[in-house]
Amino acid sequence: MKTISKDSPLAEITLRKYEKPSNMQGRELVRKLCLSIGLLQPGDSRDVIVDILYVIVKNKKELASSDIEKQVIELRKKNKLPMTGIAGSNIRRQLKRLRDLFIIEKVANNYRITENASLQEIFEEKIEKYYLKSIVDRVKEYFDAVK
């Protein structure tokens, strides 16, 4: 039997287009943002990443992962959501996903929105101009190479 090696991407991003955010606010708005940038899959019930990002955006200051965990639990109780994905290890894994997309950064042992910038700025500077551009440039190289 022939073994096929797995191709692991160096970088990847998922972008989705939804309706305009005119009638949304709070957690629902953050949920659509997470869906739009691939942090959450459509129909996924495990959506603790939404609460994590919501807590960080709402606080506008540096937070320890334990503080984020406590606030996420409070938020999920308040919204009568299932208490799934709230383990400290999972919270830290989701924080890493947000860091990998340049949305948040770790300063000492705390987390905050990258450079205290607006999410719009982060998307334009870090994701659109840097991350997405490097992916598109590499895809173009493959198109050019396949003749």
Spacing of C-alpha 131 from chain mean position: 14
CATH of domain 26-115: 1.10.10.10
* Count of CA atoms in the C-beta half-sphere (13 A) of 1: 3
* Percentage of residues in the chain having pLDDT higher than 90: 84
pLDDT at 4 over 80: no
pLDDT at 128 over 90: yes
128, 136 Cβ separation under 8 angstroms: no
pLDDT at 1 over 80: no
Question: Which residues are 111's β-sheet partners?
Answer: 63, 106
Return the closest-CA partner of residue 139 out of 7, 6, 11: 11
Mean pLDDT, residues 84-112: 94
Place 5 in a pLDDT band, splitting at 50, 70 and 90: low
Residue listed under structure tokens 């990443």: 49
Q: So what's the pLDDT on residue 28?
A: 94
Q: Phi and psi for 26 in degrees, rounded to 5?
A: 60, -135
Return the closest-CA partner of residue 122 out of 92, 146, 94, 101: 101
Domain ranges of the chain: 26-115, 117-147
Strand order in the sheet with 110-113: 63-64, 110-113, 104-107
pLDDT at 3 over 70: no
pLDDT at 134 over 80: yes
pLDDT at 123 over 90: yes
Return the closest-CA partner of residue 114 out of 58, 35, 57, 50: 57
pTM beyond cutoff 0.85: yes
49, 34 Cβ separation under 8 angstroms: yes
pLDDT at 30 over 70: yes
Write down the mean pLDDT value for the chain: 93
Convert the pLDDT of each residue in 42-78 to its tens digit.
988 889 999 999 999 999 899 999 999 999 999 999 9
Place 19 in a pLDDT band, splitting at 50, 70 and 90: very high
Distance CA 145, CA 133 (A): 18
